[in-house]
A and B are shown apart, each in its own frame.
Chain A
Amino acid sequence: MLIALCAGPMAAGIIAYCIGRVNRTARDYFADAVAVIETGLFIWLALAYLGGSAPSFSAPYICGLGISLKFDGFRMLYGLIASFMWAMTTVFSREYMAHYPRTNRYYMFFLMTLGATAGVFLSADLFTTFLFFEIMSFTSYAWVAHDETKESLRAAQTYLAVAVIGGMVLLMGLFILYDIVGTLRMDEIYDALNRAVLNDPSVKGRIYAAGACMLTGFGAKAGMFPLHIWLPKAHPVAPAPASALLSGILTKSGVFGVLIISCEMFRFDPGWGLMILIFGVITMFGGALLGIFSINIKRTLACSSMSQIGFILTGIGMQGLLGSANALAARGTMLHMMNHSLIKLVLFMAAGVIYMNLHELDLNRIRGFGRGKWLLTAVFLVGGLSISGIPGFSGYVSKTLLHESIVEYMEEIPAASSYGYFKFIEIVFLVSGGMTLAYMTKLFTAVFIEKGEEGSKEQEEAGAMAVSYDTETEGHRGTYVNLQSAAALALSALVLFVFGICPYRLMDRAASLGTVFMHAGEHGEAVDYFTFSNLKGSLTSIVIGIVIYFLIIRKLLMKKDEEGNTVYIDAWPKWLDMENLIYRPVLEKILPFVLAFVLRIFDRMADHIISLLHRSLLREVEPKRPLMYGNAFTHVLGAVMDKVVELLNRTVRRKSPKVINYEQKLAFGVEGMIKMSRYASRSVSFGLMMFSMGCIFTLVYLIVMLLIHISG
């Protein structure tokens, strides 16, 4: 049963491709059916689980190490969320992808990723997690690259690079872990590690090394700083249904991994908790900051995802710090994961509706699109208010729980000296919450309140064109979204809304589902979400958010252009991009260059030694040229001069090369001299000349001697 939930959609993906080659409509219905059936199966399993049966699956020989799946509260909830999101996005895809090319490929990978994601969340051992995790990374590549524009290919490259590098580092962690404990089953790891540490305390360092490697792998997928780089790039370029899943559920598979590390390997380990907390806080604040600066609706949502993952990581970190009294943190983590998945589903689909009509994502171009479109407004509002943590909406509950866990830790803090740090963390937490509200307000006012001033005509035309385009194919005259997509949107928003208004009945129960998985302690008393002390944090955030919106976004991030219209400006400096500033230069240029340089030496070593020997010790003996003319001196001098001439010809005198052979010339010259002297020495006049020269020398000698004699 469980394996069918994973393998079924993968097989269905291939079937969908085959169907799509024949009939596209049939394929669409088939894909819808698969996703809905998957949801149905999960609901059925969930009901059975609540009735007391917990199925599990294991196949010890498959893939060498065996895969094993199981079903518990957390897995049930996330299976439900995943399949629900897939069902909604598949239905939504139909209209959204109607005019895209290569939809067969899209659907194939869409369904395959569903199977892989189900596998990740159902996995009972880390090997199975890794297996499905890698499949998921590869199949989801096809989403990001789907448009095949320059940006999307580049973003997809980044995505895959992060996924592959992260996956390999994760694998390294698994190597080490498996070597230490000899098992990867999640429910055995904790005890096995404790035994290993008891046997040999020095193994502790290796456990942390394994943990760090695994955190890199899972954190990269989750979008944890500093491995978040793929998020703001990949989400905007992917088709909207895919962005919703990337953001809502694929990042959660990374969080799932982080949870396994934190709750199984390093259960109640304060040191580990603190590290996760620090990463979480940076991610939370960094994402929110990027979100405020962004002027692209999907990019803002992607940055927001990063920020919300930071909130979740903060919760995971607090779980470690709080030890066995971590009920609040665990419940907050669980709920925020769930909320964020559902919220991003709604928001990205809403952004998808905008893109579907305008083919624009820039806030200045989509301005005012949502005016008068009550469904879209309502849906976006539910999502926006939830994510900003407004009381009465779902995000409020989870953020409150996370906030309370920080407050709880500060109250019980052992050392007064670190109180300040945690106060700081609390402030950052609240400010990030405020920033969430600020950037959501920015999006909402831009799309739904402000009038599209500049270029509104074009925009309306584009909208009208898109609408008329739709009318031809879908038959819904004058609407910006067809019935199916609207139903998907509305249903997603409705679920989110219902969760928000029933914090005790639904949210608390959902939170309890995760406690076994996270090994949370007993939940003392039910939290009353609407007391003043609990509302205080949220209200602080709201005030901060309003201040940020009016003081920073409206004052600094909006400008009047030449025509007097206010426009959103992209104030984030272009060069300040970790990917282009650090990762790409290092990984694409510097490391390959250095490594290739060093390794090339080794590669050519044997060849070079051989050729060196060939030229020196073992060279072929050239037959000596007989010295017909000239002597050794002229040959050497001539050869040197020839080389000089050759060099000059190649450099200075390239235009008018000098053709001359000095070696030959010198040899002939010497030969001529020798011949001359031979003739000369034989002649009488030469004798006479020598005689007179002798006389002159004698005469000079006598005069010199005489002068010396006189003077001396």
Chain B
Amino acid sequence: MYLTKDIPLSFGADALGLMFLVLTVSMWVMDLIFSIEYLKHDRRRVRFYVFYVLTLISMTGICLSRNLLTMYLFYEMMALMSLPLVLHDQTKEALSAGRKYIFYSMGGAFAGLAGFFFIYIYADTLTFTPGGVLDMARLAGHEDAMLIVTMLVIIGFGSKAGMFPLHAWLPTAHPVAPSPASAFLSGNITKMGVFVIIRYIYYLVGPEFIRGTWVQYTFLALTMLTIMMGSMMAYKEQLMKKRLAYSTVSQVSYALFGIALLTPAGFTGAMMHVIFHSLVKNTLFETAGAVMHMTGFKKASEYKDLARKMPVTMWCYALVSITLVGVPPTSAFLSKWYIAQGALSSGTGVITWLGPVILILSALLTAGYLLSVMLTAFFPGDEYDYPCLEKKEPRITMLLPMLCMAAAAVIFGIFPGPVMKIITGIADVLFV
């Protein structure tokens, strides 16, 4: 099937695409199960589910597309299809958040489109090929222009992944969506930005083309800044869902940082972080959603003593929080370990040690904004009257996805073998 005379729409599955697809679909199912109870009494839930399915379809398209154009089409489609999820409540706040979401998405995607036009000139094909498709002979003399365009693409698609400078939609749009949707937005739709950037850097431009150039350094600097900024803003934020959204800003940039290092270890760490963060962030948003659903609490300070009212929910929260901080033997520790090793062996000057330092600092801030909530929930202080508490645990359909994902987040840390195998397979192809 051809879109124009010489640009085909082509689909195909490779290990990377399949990995993202499996991740997306499984998280989608989890959020779906969660939403059954959450949206039970919502009169607009049919509309929600229609667009929820359409979002999945467009994401499947992204994962399975084999060339840039196909991917771009589905990428734009995803932005549009997920918009109604943000708008769902139709409050004034939701409307303005939706507007912001679509502006940033479209703006970013247009920046990406510029790259598409440029690559098209200097390459024979737009089919994803490990190592890149650029024709260096044809490119000779235009390297600088190509670098500028590459930077533009990274920033543009980085918008979806919540990378500075186009991250601002994320903390606005995620909290206003209904919790299952914000979980999916935060946990998986942001990952599509990561995916597209991987496709662009590793499969079109080629990592060798930007290694050691200002593009790599700028990309690294932007991700490092985003990591710190997201964590710090989350630390200062009181609204729980907004805090989690800022946390996403920070954590997705871990993955981007790993990708930008252009080393096997960095890439492996990034891929692991994509998976593990997805598990963690979906769980976190679901716990926040469950708390909102059962008690109406939205602020971090209101979580005090919640562990007695909702023990299972808060245990899920505790496990994934510890995971996200990166405490062994949980999973996110491993991804951070690999990213740090990637940074130390990347030969990028000051970033070799500054990167790990930033990771550590951000992990401390993560502890500050997630663990503090956990601690007050479990250790509220002695003025609480324990026998007079009523249980507010949500129903099993809400608990089940949280439990599954929290368990997975921990178990993958202890037995990372299968995940490692898949990722090493991908990395081996990319770094010959």
> Which residues from chain A sit less than 8 Å from chain B, CB to CB?
61-65, 101, 127, 130-131, 134-135, 138, 141, 145, 147-150, 153, 156-157, 160, 164-165, 167-169, 171-172, 175-176, 178-179, 592, 595-596, 599-600, 602-607
* A179 in contact with B341 (CB, 8 Å): yes
List residues of chain A with CB within 8 A of the CB of B72.
none
Taking a contact as CB atoms under 8 Å apart, the answer to whether B344 and A179 are in contact is yes
Which of these binds chain A: B75-83, B195-203, B359-367? B359-367
CA distance A595 to B386 in the complex (A): 39
**Which chain B residues lie closer than 8 Å to A148 at the CB level?**
379-382
| B360 CB contacts on chain A under 8 angstroms | 168-169, 171-172
Q: In whole angstroms, how far apart are the Cα atoms of A581 and B337 in the complex?
A: 34
Name the distance in Å between B98's Cβ and chain A's nearest Cβ: 15
Asked if B232 and A592 sit within 8 Å, CB to CB, the answer is: yes
Nearest residue in B to A607 (C-beta to C-beta)? Answer: B168
**Contact A592/B235 with A63-B414, A164-B364, A603-B229 known, Cβ cut-off 8 Å:** yes
Task: Report B425 CB to chain A, min CB distance, Å.
Answer: 16
A175 and B379 contact, CB distance less than 8 A: no
Instruction: Specify which of A179, A603, A606 is in contact with B233 (CB 8 Å cutoff).
Output: A603
Asked, given contacts A134-B328, A592-B236, A599-B233, whether A175 binds B340 with beta carbons under 8 Å apart, the answer is: yes
Q: Would you call A64 and B229 a contact (CB within 8 A)?
A: no
Contact (A62, B414) CB under 8 Å given A153-B381, A176-B344, A603-B168:
yes
B356 is an interface residue with CB less than 8 A from chain A: yes
B39 in the interface, Cβ–Cβ < 8 Å?
no
How many angstroms between the C-alpha atoms of A235 and B380 in the bound complex? 20
Q: Which residues of B sit under 8 angstroms from A592, Cβ to Cβ?
A: 232, 235-236
Is B322 within 8 A of A63, CB to CB? no
Shortest Cβ distance from residue B430 to the other chain A in the assembled complex, whole angstroms: 20
Given A62-B414, A153-B379, the answer on whether A602 and B337 have CB atoms closer than 8 Å is no
B141 interfacial by beta-carbon distance below 8 Å: no
Q: Say how far A669's CB is from chain B's closest CB, in angstroms.
A: 42
Known: A64-B337, A599-B228. 11 other contacts (CB 8 A): A63-B329, A131-B328, A138-B327, A145-B379, A149-B381, A175-B356, A178-B341, A179-B345, A600-B232, A605-B164, A605-B165
Bound Cα distance from A127 to B235, whole angstroms: 29
Q: How many Å from the CB of A364 to the closest CB on chain B?
A: 24
Which stretch (B85-93, B129-137, B142-150, B415-423) binds chain A? B415-423
Cβ-defined partner of B344 (8 Å) among A127, A138, A175: A175
Q: Can you show 18 pairs from A to B with CB atoms below 8 A apart?
A: A64-B334, A64-B413, A135-B329, A141-B375, A145-B379, A160-B371, A164-B367, A167-B327, A175-B341, A175-B344, A175-B356, A596-B235, A596-B236, A603-B167, A606-B165, A606-B166, A606-B168, A607-B168
B408 within 8 A of A: no
Whole-angstrom CA separation of A605 from B167 in the bound complex: 10
A residues within 8 A CB of B312? Answer: none
Interchain CB contact under 8 A, B229 and A65: no
Q: How many residues of B contact A (CB 8 A)?
A: 45
The interface residues of chain A lying within 8 Å CB-to-CB of B400 are: none
Which chain A residues border B357 with CB–CB below 8 Å?
172
B415 contacts across to A, CB distance below 8 A: 61-62
Q: In whole angstroms, how far apart are the Cα atoms of A157 and B341 in the complex?
A: 31
Please give, as numbers and ranges, the residues of chain A lying within 8 Å of B353 by CB-CB distance: 176
Please state if A599 and B232 are interface contacts (CB–CB under 8 Å).
Answer: yes
Interface-centre pick from A134, A148, A169, A175 (highest chain B CB count, 10 A): A175
Q: Considering the complex, give the chain A residue whose CB is closest to the CB of B235.
A: A592
How close is B223's CB to chain A, nearest CB, in angstroms? 13
Chain A residue with the shortest CB-CB distance to B103: A610
B395-432 contact mask (Cβ, 8 Å, vs A): 1 or 0: 00000000000000000011111001000000000000
Q: Would you call B225 an interface residue if the criterion is a C-beta within 8 Å of the partner chain's C-beta atoms? A: yes
Which residues on the B side are within 8 Å of A160 (C-beta)? 371, 375
A172 in contact with B356 given A150-B381, A596-B232 (CB within 8 Å): yes
Q: When the two chains form their complex, are residues B327 and A134 in contact, meaning their CB atoms are under 8 A apart?
A: yes
Q: Which residues of A contact B341 (CB under 8 A)?
A: 175, 178-179
Q: Within B264-314, which residues are at the interface with A (CB < 8 Å)?
A: none
Chain B residues with Cβ below 8 Å from A607 are 168
Q: How far is the CA of A130 from the CA of B341 in the complex (A)?
A: 16
Chain A contacts for B382, CB-based, 8 A:
147-150
Give chain A nearest CB distance to B256 CB in angstroms.
16
Q: Which 9 A-B pairs have the closest CB atoms?
A: A179-B344, A599-B229, A64-B334, A131-B328, A148-B382, A599-B232, A175-B340, A145-B379, A63-B329
B168, A604: Cβ atoms closer than 8 Å: yes
- Chain A hits for B322, CB < 8 A: 138
**Which chain B residues in 338-352 approach chain A with CB under 8 Å?**
340-341, 344-345
Across-interface contacts of B327 in A (CB, < 8 A): 134-135, 138, 167
Residues of B within 8 A of A156 (CB): 375, 379
**Are B344 and A595 in contact, CB atoms less than 8 angstroms apart?**
no
Q: B334, A63: Cβ atoms under 8 Å?
A: yes
| Distance between Cα atoms of A607 and B382 in the complex (Å) | 44
Closest CB in chain B relative to A285 CB, distance in Å:
31
B334: A residues at CB distance < 8 A: 63-65
| Residues of B close to A169: CB separation below 8 A | 360
Most A CB contacts (10 A, CB to CB) among B168, B326, B415 go to B168
How far is A157 from B376 in the complex, measured between Cα atoms in Å?
10
A138 to B104: give the CA distance in the assembly, Å.
Answer: 41
B170 to chain A, nearest CB (A): 11
Cα A606 to Cα B379 in complex, Å, equals: 40
Min CB distance A215 to B, Å, is 16
Chain B positions within 8 Å of A65 at CB level? 334, 337
Once bound together, how far apart are the Cα atoms of A62 and B413, in whole Å? 8
Centre residue among B166, B233, B360 by max chain A CB count within 10 A: B360
- Chain B residues near A131: list those with CB within 8 A: 328-329
Contact present for B356 and A64 (CB under 8 Å): no
The residue on B at minimum CB distance from A169 is: B360
Look across to chain A and name the residue whose beta carbon is closest to the beta carbon of B232: A599
Residues of B within 8 A of A145 (CB): 375, 379
Bound Cα distance from A178 to B344, whole angstroms: 10
Contacts of A599 in B (CB 8 A): 225, 228-229, 232-233
Query: Which of B104, B229, B334 counts the most A-chain CB atoms under 10 A from its CB?
Result: B229
Query: From residue A703, how far is it (CB to closest CB) to chain B in Å?
Result: 78
Q: How far is B50's CA from A290's CA once the two chains are assembled, in angstroms?
A: 68
Within 8 A of A (CB), among B373-389: 375, 379-382, 386
